[in-house]
Amino acid sequence: MEILLAIITGVLYASGIYMIMRRSMVKLILGIILLGNGVNLLIFVLGRITKGKPPIIDSAEKVLEGVYADPIPQALILTAIVISFGLQAFAIILMKRTFKVLKTDDLDQLNTTDEDS
């Protein structure tokens, strides 16, 4: 299962970087989304997939015994999802405003310093 997740992570990274290198702002945002999902999956895979009980200590015990799931990667992924959602929302609003003002989404045309208008 880890090999399949590693392959999917690689595909998400490759497609995200490819989309970021395109000239359109829409493709740039889609690339950032794919790259963010690849990072989340990478954190999940690095935390190892463990089938076990939740990490809750009974009142009678002092330490965890046996196999338990590690909650840290899950908490990191939830935090990363919230942050990436905020970044994506900001980027979409910024792209919408830029398109409304300049009537283009081509990054090469946005990079020019001509003041024709």
Which position has the token pair 């992570």?
Answer: 9
| Residue 110 pLDDT | 77
Single pTM value for the model: 0.76
Low-confidence ranges of the chain (pLDDT < 50): none
Asked if 40 and 77 count as a contact pair (C-beta separation under 8 A), the reply is yes
Tell me the two tokens of residue 16.
């995200």
Q: What domains can be seen in the chain, in order of their start residue?
A: 2-51+67-103 (1.10.287)
88 Cβ neighbours under 8 A, 6+ residues apart: 29, 32, 33, 36
CB neighbours of residue 74 within 10 Å: 13
20 Cβ neighbours under 8 A, 6+ residues apart: 27, 28, 31, 32, 35
| Residue 39 pLDDT | 92
| Residue 67 pLDDT | 74
Span 23-44, pLDDT tens digits: 888 999 999 999 999 999 998 8
Look at residues 95, 104, 4 and name the one whose alpha carbon lies nearest to residue 45: 4
% of the chain at pLDDT higher than 90: 44
- State the Cα–Cα distance between residues 29 and 93, nearest whole angstrom: 11
| Residue 117 pLDDT | 53
